[in-house]
Amino acid sequence: MTSRHDLEASHTPAAIRARLHGGPDHSYLRDFVYGAIDGAVTTFAVVAGATGANLSAGLVLVFGVANLFADGFSMAVSNYLGTRAEEQRRNRLRAEEHAHVHAIPDGERKEVRQIFAAKGLTGRALEEIVEAITSDEGVWVDTMLREEHGLPSDSQSATRAAVSTFVAFMLAGAVPLIVFVVDLVVPGAIPGDAIWWSAGMTAVTFFGTGVVKARVVDESPWSSGLETLALGGGAALLAYAIGWLLSGLATV
C-alpha cells in the first residue's frame, strides 16, 4: 500500500509534469503471463505424451526442445502480428476521424456533445467541454477514438509484446524439461518416475507466475499463485490425459 507521503510526493506539479511528459506506461504483463502459461502447458504436454509412449529421456528432450523453440517463436510472431493489427486498425480509424472532422465538423460536434451528455453533463458545463475538445483537432480525434471506438490513443510496442511472450515462453517452457536433462546427463540421479518430477516443477512454475503477476497488480501472492496454479494445472492435466489416451498410437 502506497503511503500518503509517497502519494503527495508523486502529485507535486513537477512530478505530475514529468510523469505526463513521459507518456503512458504500457504494461506487458499480459504478454508475459500468456507466454509463461502456454510455454509450461505445451512443453509439459509434449513431455507427457512422449513419456506415455515410453520414449527415452533423450527423445523426450528432442521433442520438448523442438516444441519449445518452434511454438515459442510461433506465439511471439502471432502476438506481434495481433498487436500490429490493432495498431493498424487504430491508425485507420484515426485517419477516418480526421477526415470526418474536416468533412462534417457539425456532425462530429454533435457526437461529442451526445457522448458527454450521456456522462451526465448538461447546460453550460456541457457546452464548455464540447468547445474545449473541438477547438483542438488532435484532442478531438483522440476523444473520438476513446469514446466512440473504445481504443486508447496510443498503443504498446508490438516488438516488446512479442519479446515478452517469447522470453516468458522459453523460461517457463524449459522447466518441464530440466528433470530429463539431469536424467540424461547423470543416469539414475532422478529417483522415481521423471514425469512426476516434471509435473511438480511445472506446478511450481504456474504458482511462481501467479506470484510475479501479484507483485505487479498488487494483490495477494498466495491468491494469485493458487489461481494460476489451478487454471494452468487444469490445462496441463488435460494435456497429460490426452497424451496418455493417445500414447497407444505410437506403437501402431
pTM for this one? 0.74
d(CA 197, CA 179): 7
**Grid cell listed for 95:** 485517419
Write down the pLDDT at residue 26.
60
**Grid cell listed for 113:** 456533445
**Grid cell listed for 129:** 467541454
Please report which confidence band the pLDDT of residue 225 belongs to, taking 50, 70 and 90 as the band edges: confident
Asked whether the predicted pLDDT for residue 62 surpasses 70, the reply is: yes
Nearest to 33, CA basis, from 236, 232, 237: 232
Average pLDDT over the chain reads 82
Q: What is the DSSP string of the chain?
A: ---HHHHHHTTSHHHHHHHHHT------HHHHHHHHHHHHHHHHHHHHHHHHTT--HHHHHHHHHHHHHHHHHHHHHHHHHHHHHHHHHHHHHHHHHHHHHHH-HHHHHHHHHHHHHTTT--HHHHHHHHHHHHTSHHHHHHHHHHHTT---SS---HHHHHHHHHHHHHHHHHHHHHHHHHHHHSTT-S-S-HHHHHHHHHHHHHHHHHHHHHHHHT--HHHHHHHHHHHHHHHHHHHHHHHHHHGGGGG-
Write down the pLDDT at residue 209.
84
Stretch 179-192: mean pLDDT, rounded?
80
Q: For the chain, give the percent of residues with pLDDT over 90.
A: 29
For residues 144 and 13, the answer to whether their CB atoms sit within 8 Å is no
Tell me the residue length of the chain: 252
Write down the pLDDT at residue 14.
63
Least confident of 30-34, 169-173, 186-190: 186-190
Kindly report the backbone phi and psi dihedral angles of residue 151, in degrees, each rounded to the nearest multiple of 5, phi listed first. Answer: -115, 140
Report pLDDT digits (tens) over 194-216: 788 888 888 888 888 888 887 77
Report pLDDT digits (tens) over 18-27: 544 555 556 6
Report pLDDT digits (tens) over 128-145: 999 999 999 999 999 999
150: left (phi over 0), alpha (psi -120 to 50) or beta: left
Write down the pLDDT at residue 20.
46
Write down the pLDDT at residue 252.
47
